[in-house]
Structure 1
Amino acid sequence: MTNERRVLVHPDMDSLIAAVAARFLTKLTDLLDEYQEVNIALTGGTAGGTGVQQAVAESPMRGAIDWTRVHFWWGDERFLPKGDPDRNETQAHEALLDRIPVPAENIHPFPASDEIPDIEQAASAYADELRAHADPALRLTVPRFDITFLGVGPDGHIASLFPEHDVRADDERLVIADRNAPKPPPERLSLTLPVINSSQRIWMVLSGAEKASALGLALAGASPIEVPAAGAQGRRRTVFFVDGEAAEQVPQNLIASSY
């Protein structure tokens, strides 16, 4: 099994979003030829989240996908009431999920604060949902995440794993409940780093000059405790999809010419 890290640079955010959306639909077609069901973990944010999701929804290629065989999960979520506009789930429904024929039972959101008011119990409930869809063929206690999308913050955080803030490569938990996240809202749910790294492919999407330092540090081998993005490693492949501004501190020898 290969385990590659690549950086693909696009001129600007618009071309970045369009390229990632097209690549996602092409790869999803291939995955559905290989597997009966495919699991995708979505992220929030502007580029890799709603930007890519909306581009997928608007692509004519979406009609070739059998969405009844695709399951959607999330890497993290803001612990807010159902339907809150700041929830990643809400944004994904508006950008993509309500615009494709995916069955409701194939959508696996984190519990909302008005569904399970205690955040620790909410974390436990999502962990149970992950176990219920575990892939025994890979000896995993979670689903086989075929593609996990991640955004990267200017501080290098991924999902809701923040620097110096409960990021452990040996974490035995599946889901963490964070009551004091450094970015609002303070209460968040997140997959742990080992669960993220159980993914077959991790696609990190970065746009803007404010992400350049975090990307440079991640590629330079910084500690995942200090730069969580540095610890993200898919089982088969890890790709950083970036625009020109975010790539300012990437050494030329790390930039791939193609996927």
Structure 2
Amino acid sequence: MSAEPKVSIHPSQASLAAAVAARLITRLVDVQSERGTATVVLTGGSIATAALQAVADSPAHTAVDWAMVHFWWGDERFLRAEDPDRNAVQARAALLDHIGADPVKIHEFGSKDEFPDEDAAAADYAEQLAAAARDEREADADAVQPDARLPRFDVLLLGVGPDAHVASLFPELAGIRTKGATTVGVADAPKPPPQRVSLTLEAINTAQEVWLSVSGSDKAGAVGLALAGAGAVQVPAAGARGLRKTLWLIDQDAAQKLPGRLIDQGETAD
């Protein structure tokens, strides 16, 4: 059973990034107080990178034991390992290199340096996820795993494209239609680079909490369609749901086409 979306509206891109950072720090502290470790799934894009930088800049970030946080990614561009366009490279520069994260707990998608194609990289990531799930079960027989192929994801972060894609799952393409797998190779993404690797929607929807962070008027149409109940194949963002919480964190520009019922129910941040 997935959670219905809740909306939080912020006045600017900067305040949105700060809000995502503050929520993430708070959530990780809460999870660690319950279980000792925590797992977050990162994403790419300008808001995601700004939010990670805001985490690094926040005095409150020291409340998190970062050495006990596992980091995964929702998707990655299939490029050379140190290409600056890779989500992992951007995340390291913004946050991971500055907080004492355990390198063993940073789980990057494979790169062109390691694999012949995106399908091989996707298969390897599926194996990494399955191995982490097994380790989790061995460490805690009571571990909550909605899917035995996946570790528990406490928070999964997503951006949303103007076409309503999430991770590297694009409207109408094979990735968003993939069933029975946790990862997928994408050979024909409509935005560069065309070769990518991604979690599937099935994998995304095992997360305890899914947060979609969106900024800019060019995303307003995608936000409006997703929250109006469009189908996931046509509007992938509509299909992203957390088990306990589905949270849309958006700025005023991205909120321009929200359904009226959600504007009424949404939380407007100062």
Instruction: Identify whether the pair has TM-score above 0.5, normalized to the shorter chain.
Output: yes
Give 1:96's aligned residue: 95
Q: Which amino acid aligns with 1:232?
A: A
Whether 1:174 and 2:182 are equivalent positions in the alignment is: yes
Deviates more, 1:244-253 or 1:78-87: 244-253
Give 3-state SS (helix, strand or coil) of 1:145's partner: coil
Matching of residue 194 in structure 1 with residue 193 in structure 2: no
Contact 2:157 2:213 survives alignment (8 Å): yes
Letter in 1 for 2:193: P
- What letter is aligned with 1:88? N
Cα deviation code 1:73-97 (max 9, x no counterpart) = 0000000001100000000000000
Q: In 2, Cα distance between the equivalents of 1:173 and 1:187?
A: 18
Range moving further from structure 2, 185-194 or 158-167: 158-167
CA separation in 1, counterparts of 2:175 and 2:23?
30
**Letter matched to residue 105 of structure 1:** V
Shift of the alpha carbon at 1:258?
Answer: 7.1
In structure 2, distance between residues paired with 1:144 and 1:169: 23
Pairs within 5 Å for 1:238-253: 238-253=246-261
How far apart are the structure 2 equivalents of 1:13 and 1:109?
A: 27
Letter in structure 1 aligned against 2:173: H
Instruction: Find the counterpart in structure 2 of residue 157 from structure 1.
Output: 165
Q: Deviations over 1:83-136 (max 9, x none)?
A: 100000000000000011011001000001111223222111100000011154
SS at match of 1:82: coil
Q: Residue by residue, what CA displacement relative to the aligned partner does 1:176-206 show, whole Å, maximum 9, x if unpaired?
A: 1111111100100000000000000000000
Alpha-carbon shift at residue 170 of structure 1 (Å): 6.6
Unpaired runs of 5+ residues, structure 2, are 138-142
Output one character per residue of 1:3-42: Cα deviation in whole Å (capped at 9) or x when no partner: 2310100011011111111111111111111112111000
Assess, with a 3 A threshold, how the Cα gap between structure 1 residues 258 and 210 changes in structure 2: closer, same or farther: closer
- Give the structure 2 partner of residue 130 of structure 1: 129
- Stretches (4+) displaced over 6 A: none
3-state SS of paired residue (2:267): coil
Instruction: State the alpha-carbon separation in 2 of the partners of residues 98 and 258 from structure 1.
Output: 33
Displacement of 1:168 after TM fit? 4.4
CA contact (8 A) 1:169 1:194 kept: no
Equivalent position of 2:29 in the other structure = 29
Paired residues for 1:48-87 under 5 Å: 49-87=48-86
**Identity across the alignment (%):** 50
Amino acid in the other structure paired with 1:3: A
Q: Could you tell me whether the CA contact under 8 Å between 2:227 and 2:259 is conserved in 1? A: no
1:257 to 255, 258, 267: 267
Q: Tell me the distance in 1 between the aligned counterparts of 2:2 and 2:268.
A: 16
Question: How many positions carry a matched residue from both structures?
Answer: 258
Give yes or no for contact 1:167–1:225 (8 Å, CA) kept in 2.
Answer: no
Q: Which amino acid aligns with 1:257?
A: E
Conserved in 2, the CA contact under 8 Å of 1:50 and 1:95?
yes
